[in-house]
């Protein structure tokens, strides 16, 4: 399919990025569409693609949760989401029917992981994780080159983490309180410390950054021990705190406590920033478009 035009969508809770090209480095066009109601948003997205040169397939990396079991009649739908009005919204069926092309769909983070695997920081690896730490925490997992699914897709943001001994914050997760996301998302940092880290006084900022590195490393420990990835890519707004990746690397070495004793877990290349910056998701859409062609 080299040279064929494909469509890519990164569907988010605030905006949808839509692109047409042969890949993320060769775009014909790109647009951003504000996320409003499902019918209005999907209508604008479909209109955008109809006004572009014909595409052979479409990939969608979307916020979720999504139904991704092919045997289910609602495959490719957003299931039960806190995003108002979006529960039970069929994405892949509606887009495929309107545009007449095969549609590949996965979570935004599984998509981002696939994008990083093909063009970014995980090229050449077969098992790796893409974690985003921002408004929420989510992780995409690629195992043997394929995005991981089971009954549902991974929900790494909700793993349990050991509490920092100096932290009295209750946590923000509406389901679990002090799970990984409840303690370490951007909103959790702001709620605990009173503001975003970059706006805090230097001493407080240092404490906030140290505690954040501690919690992210706790989440990564669960990933290391359950999924055994070759690399963990950490992106998202919180990962842009100065010194974030080295601090997480050091904290991870501390919390692994010498087990299983692999030097790779402490190496610079184990916990890294996205190679594609904030373009992992749209690259993932192109990777998913390719998978849709392969499956059709």
Q: How far is the CB of 173 from Zn ion (least distance, A)?
A: 3
- Whole-number Å distance between alpha carbons of 270 and 249: 8
Lookup result for tokens 């052979």: 56
Q: Which is nearer to Zn ion, 135 or 250 (CB)?
A: 135
Q: Which is nearer to Zn ion, 95 or 173 (CB)?
A: 173
Q: How far is the CB of 158 from Zn ion (least distance, A)?
A: 4
- Token pair for 168: 């009295």
Judged on CB neighbours under 10 Å (0-12, 13-18, 19+), 273 is middle
Q: How far is the CB of 128 from Zn ion (least distance, A)?
A: 23
- Whole-number Å distance between alpha carbons of 137 and 131: 7
Q: How far is the CB of 159 from Zn ion (least distance, A)?
A: 8
Lookup result for tokens 């404490």: 207
Q: Which is nearer to Zn ion, 155 or 195 (CB)?
A: 155
Q: How far is the CB of 167 from Zn ion (least distance, A)?
A: 16
Residues in contact with Zn ion by the rule CB under 5 A: 158, 173, 175-176, 179
- Token pair for 69: 């079991």
For residues 155-194, one letter each, b for 16 or more C-beta atoms within 10 angstroms of the residue's C-beta and e for the rest, the string is bbbbbebeebeeeebebbbeebebbbbbbbbbebbbebbe
Q: How far is the CB of 250 from Zn ion (least distance, A)?
A: 26
Residue 236, CA atoms < 13 Å, CB-side half-sphere = 25
- Token pair for 56: 């052979």
Q: Which is nearer to Zn ion, 10 or 181 (CB)?
A: 181
**CA distances, 288 to each of 4, 83, 166, 167, 234 (Å):** 14, 24, 43, 40, 21
Q: Which is nearer to Zn ion, 91 or 133 (CB)?
A: 133
Neighbour count for residue 228 (Cβ, 10 Å): 12
Q: Which is nearer to Zn ion, 129 or 183 (CB)?
A: 183
Q: How far is the CB of 175 from Zn ion (least distance, A)?
A: 5
Q: Which is nearer to Zn ion, 155 or 210 (CB)?
A: 155
């Amino acid at each position: 399919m080299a040279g064929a035009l494909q469509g890519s969508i990164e569907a988010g809770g605030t905006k949808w990025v839509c692109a047409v090209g042969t890949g993320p480095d060769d775009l014909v066009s790109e647009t951003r569409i504000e996320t409003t109601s499902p019918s209005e948003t999907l209508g604008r997205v479909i209109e955008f693609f109809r006004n572009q040169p014909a595409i052979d397939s479409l990939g969608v990396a979307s916020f979720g949760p999504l139904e991704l079991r092919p045997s289910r009649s609602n495959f490719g739908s957003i299931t039960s989401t806190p995003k108002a009005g979006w529960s039970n919204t069929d994405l892949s069926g509606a887009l495929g029917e309107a545009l007449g092309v095969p549609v590949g769909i996965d979570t935004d983070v599984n998509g981002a992981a696939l994008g990083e695997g093909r063009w970014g920081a995980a090229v050449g690896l077969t098992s790796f994780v893409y974690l985003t730490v921002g408004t929420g925490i989510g992780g995409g997992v690629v195992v043997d080159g394929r995005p991981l699914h089971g009954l549902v897709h991974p929900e790494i943001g909700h793993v349990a983490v050991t509490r920092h001994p100096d932290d009295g914050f209750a946590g923000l997760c509406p389901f679990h309180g002090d799970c990984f996301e409840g303690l370490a998302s951007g909103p959790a940092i702001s709620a605990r410390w009173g503001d975003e880290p970059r706006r805090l006084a230097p001493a407080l900022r240092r404490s906030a950054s140290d505690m954040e590195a501690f919690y992210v490393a706790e989440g990564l420990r669960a990933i290391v021990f359950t999924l055994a990835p070759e690399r963990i890519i950490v992106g998202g707004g919180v990962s842009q705190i100065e010194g974030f990746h080295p601090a997480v690397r050091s904290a991870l070495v501390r919390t692994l406590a010498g087990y299983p004793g692999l030097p790779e877990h402490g190496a610079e290349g184990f916990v890294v920033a996205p190679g594609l910056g904030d373009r992992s998701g749209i690259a993932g859409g192109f990777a998913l478009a390719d998978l849709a062609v392969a499956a059709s």
